[in-house]
Amino acid sequence: MPRTSDARERLVRSAARLFLTRSYQSVGVEELCSAADVRRGSFYHFFPGKSDLAKAVIDRHAAALWARLDEATAVTAPAPGGAVDAAAHLHAMADAVGEIQTGFEARFGRVVGCPFGNLAAELATTDDVLREHLAAVFAEWERRLAVLCRVAADQGVLRDGVDPGLLPKILVAQFQGMILLAKTGRSDASQIPRALHQVIAANLREGA
Amino acid sequence: MPRTSDARERLVRSAARLFLTRSYQSVGVEELCSAADVRRGSFYHFFPGKSDLAKAVIDRHAAALWARLDEATAVTAPAPGGAVDAAAHLHAMADAVGEIQTGFEARFGRVVGCPFGNLAAELATTDDVLREHLAAVFAEWERRLAVLCRVAADQGVLRDGVDPGLLPKILVAQFQGMILLAKTGRSDASQIPRALHQVIAANLREGA
DNA sequence: GGGCTACTTGACGGACCGGTCAACTATCAG
DNA sequence: CTGATAGTTGACCGGTCCGTCAAGTAGCCC
């Protein structure tokens, strides 16, 4: 193996920052390169094109999210009797994504949006490969919530009339929508977990 | 008054279509003009720039939305006793936005997203004027829901623990998030009102 | 050392971007 | 008929877009 480089890593890292704080289309390859201190030609050594870099950015954010969600449900104390406390796990996941956003807010000085939601809104109609890639991330996110919702349903802690199959999508959508409103209205990130907690609580039985 | 023209109207109309089915940045002034059968120079007779056309598109969509929401709450039957039936009005508003989306889906063959949400996600970080304009639309939308939520709270039909001040934002966010997921996953629009109904019902007392 | 290969470099290209402009034309009021 | 004005036209601008390429260089294996 001759000659190694972390140029690819630098590109992904600074692209993640630029796509998040601005947008995909508003950042050109030139700026992507200069931010990563990589020459234009090298960019195309590592990536066939700009959209492939975006894919790598998505994968990086996704890996971080799954790790964070695993951590959130791992540290939550089991319910009395040793069974999984689905309600507590749902609230813990809400806190986890809330903390990710608070972290972005601290780093960038404002709510910058969800890395997936931003790209999805911008590219779903213009880049079918990235759209499907993002759809897979959302599907996995919903799947992780669906596991908990199923348990909650089995335990009978869901409120009457609640569709346990729709609830995961509702929760991801609530997060996406709240963060879009916060970003647009330049409000702070704290209302995001608050809204999630309220939606979760409203779908559970009183006292659950 | 010398010489009149509907070129401006044609521009707004076809821009609304193009921004909705693609995106703001992916559509150039040239394409905007040819779609409206307007020559490039005329464009700048009617609009100082591309973003001003976007503003006009937003205003057009907003006017349509307010009209549709007014209609939805007007036709809803008053509750027994003549008081406003806040719960029914909330559900009617959910149906109204669901129908708007179903209309887009029928026109364009797929879920194309919310005219405001799409632009907000794409432009909130790059165009402060449009961001504020969109924030005002969202604020008005929330305000209209807040009136109903206030009534619901006064009538005591909200579930215990529900923050009536947060609920309007939750509902707008739910809509924005669901439509983003539908657009990204190429699923159909029917789940959007379903999710809204579930969130509304979950925040109301049993039987309300 | 030689040779293979990952990586680097910067100039280049054609397309397109949003926006400007000066000349022109149709319509109206008088 | 005249003059004022709203609207039209298409060439043109500098800048940027994404992507290509041929030539060069640094590191590792042998």
Looking at the structure, tell me whether residues B29 and B61 fall in a common domain: no
Looking at the structure, tell me whether residues A124 and A31 fall in a common domain: no
The size of chain A, in residues, is 208
Name the strand (E) or helix (H) holding A197: helix A191-203
Q: Please provide the average confidence, as pLDDT, over all residues in chain B.
A: 95
Looking at the structure, tell me whether residues A38 and A121 fall in a common domain: no
In a domain, A207, yes or no: no
Mean per-residue pLDDT for A42-59? Answer: 98
Looking at the structure, tell me whether residues B118 and B30 fall in a common domain: no
pLDDT at B76 over 80: no
Looking at the structure, tell me whether residues A122 and A30 fall in a common domain: no
pLDDT tens digit string along A59-108? 999 999 999 999 998 866 565 666 778 999 999 999 999 999 999 999 99
Mean per-residue pLDDT for B125-144? Answer: 98
Tell me which protein residue sits closest to nucleotide C16, measuring alpha carbon to C1'. Answer: B28
B117 lies within 8 A of chain A by CB: yes
pLDDT at A77: 59
Looking at the structure, tell me whether residues A16 and A43 fall in a common domain: yes
CA distance A76 to chain B (A): 23
pLDDT at A79: 58
In a domain, B208, yes or no: no
Least confident of A77-81, A124-128, A133-137, B55-59: A77-81
Q: DSSP label at B1?
A: -
- Provide the domain count of chain A: 2
pLDDT at A83: 73
Looking at the structure, tell me whether residues B124 and B86 fall in a common domain: yes
pLDDT at B84: 79
In a domain, B207, yes or no: no
Looking at the structure, tell me whether residues B159 and B190 fall in a common domain: yes
Which chain A residues are Cβ-neighbours of B173 within 8 angstroms? Answer: 173-174, 176-178, 180-181, 195
CATH code for the domain of A19: 1.10.10.60
Burial of A17 (0-12, 13-18, 19+ CB in 10 A): middle
pLDDT at B142 over 90: yes
CATH code for the domain of B109: 1.10.357.10
pLDDT at A105: 98
At A4, is the pLDDT very low, low, confident or very high (cuts 50, 70, 90)? Answer: confident
pLDDT at B3: 76
pLDDT at B79 over 80: no
**Are the C-beta atoms of A204 and A167 separated by less than 8 Å?**
no
Q: Please provide the average confidence, as pLDDT, over all residues in chain A.
A: 95
**Residue A26 and residue A18: Cα distance in Å, rounded?**
9
pLDDT at B36: 98
**Residue B32 and residue B45: Cα distance in Å, rounded?**
14
In a domain, A75, yes or no: yes
pLDDT at B108 over 70: yes
**Residue B54 and residue A120: Cα distance in Å, rounded?**
20
- Rounded distance in angstroms from the CA atom of residue B132 to the C1' atom of nucleotide C16: 29
In a domain, A24, yes or no: yes
Which chain A residues are Cβ-neighbours of B206 within 8 angstroms? Answer: 160
Last residue within a domain, chosen from B13, B28, B47: B47
State residue B204 phi and psi, 5-degree precision: -100, 160
In a domain, A208, yes or no: no
CA distance B130 to chain A (A): 10
Looking at the structure, tell me whether residues A184 and A98 fall in a common domain: yes
In a domain, A21, yes or no: yes
Looking at the structure, tell me whether residues A104 and A167 fall in a common domain: yes
Looking at the structure, tell me whether residues A41 and A59 fall in a common domain: no
In a domain, B59, yes or no: yes
Using a 7 Å CB cut-off, which residues contact strand C?
A 1-5, 7, 38-42, 45-46; B 1-4, 25, 27-31, 40-41, 43-44, 48-51
**Residue B70 and residue A60: Cα distance in Å, rounded?**
45
Structural domain boundaries enclosing A114:
55-202
Looking at the structure, tell me whether residues A83 and A114 fall in a common domain: yes
- Cα nearest neighbour of B22 on chain A: A125
At B207, is the pLDDT very low, low, confident or very high (cuts 50, 70, 90)? Answer: confident
pLDDT at A76: 60
